[in-house]
Structure 1
């Protein structure tokens, strides 16, 4: 399937399942020539069309299509800081992840609780970043400051940003983040049994997960 068609198909799937709403959220994928396909500003992920995607040059300029999402700087920050590991970026406003970001956390460097193996295998450690005005260049700077150590971050009071080597991998990882956040929220007052450090270490070693 053509990458443009794939991006539209995943956008529709995320929208239909309530992982983003209205005109929130944005997706991008890197083309073989280094340009980025990016969803347009003010457009619902449920109404994307292949010809309606923006094309962004490596220097950030618009090469074709409509005006892109205002979050282009945060997307580019991941492509630049994790160049060898990032072929796509998914930014959602999913409910449970955003809800969890409103609550106190124990460790901003490892924000998502270790409840299931899949959260660790697909996401590694998720970093909680401070609230910034949407579209602010400060978000991109926050990502650059991580020096490529995290494949997923949570923007406080805003939404998750997840990367992957392929668009499919990035979408699946974003879905895993939301599923784990839901488990964390639903069990927050119940003191759930988290994976132990030894169990986490085993997963990190076996599946070659970057871990600080």
Structure 2
């Protein structure tokens, strides 16, 4: 999806992706939120308190790129994170935030490298995610995280929020969803392999696979 996609197509895409993530257990209850950037620069987001398993096309919220609510239901309380990523990444047209189990578990571990929370265990992780900064804990909806999120998003299209979960931006909704799913699977591998000697990709191998992100 690009910024020129019409709004009705964008709404359908958000709901279709939300259903896919929910039904496959990548989010639960009323956790997680998705957004797309429209051709006019405004954002469509899932609303606060909604479940990705039941949200409907007509229930999406609209904000500007600074998080100001324009119309529709009240947006997710983490709308400021989405806005921060879009401001930092002009090529981003979708943002996905989940509380996926294994990524959230990694975000709770002591001793995680704040510069890169997960090792590049697989080639697809290196290609779709790359380095994953761990941002310090803030309560959900705490907008004091916004400046740090925006600064970090200028150089990283994916971050992990401490004791919370991942946020990923993409040039398309498909790209963002694929990347956050790859992140979740790598977090699962990382936890399964704890206590075992591992052989991650070397920095050179990972760099060779890295592609320009949105």
Does the alignment reach a TM-score above 0.5? yes
- TM-score normalised over the length of structure 1: 0.92
Q: Secondary structure at the match of 2:35?
A: strand
TM-score (norm 2): 0.92
1:26 corresponding residue in structure 2: 33
Query: What is the aligned partner in structure 2 of residue 64 from structure 1?
Result: 71
What residue ranges of structure 1 are gaps of 5+ in the alignment?
none
Q: Classify the secondary structure of the residue corresponding to 1:131.
A: coil
Deviation at 1:62? 1.9
Q: State the Cα distance separating 1:201 from its structure 2 match.
A: 2.8
Output the aligned Cα RMSD: 1.6
Deviation readout 1:29-87 (Å, 9 max, x if unpaired): 0001101000000000011111110011234222221111000111100001112x311
Match of 1:2 among 9, 29, 33: 9
Secondary structure of 1:29's aligned partner: strand
Alpha-carbon offset, residue 147 of structure 1:
5.7
Mapped contact 1:110–1:127 kept (Cα < 8 A): yes
Aligned residue pairs, count: 207
Q: Which runs of 5+ in 2 are unaligned?
A: 1-7
The answer to whether the 8 A contact 1:105-1:111 is kept is no
In structure 2, distance between residues paired with 1:65 and 1:190: 50
Alignment of 1:42-191 (within 5 A): 42-83=49-90, 85-105=91-111, 107-146=113-152, 148-191=154-197
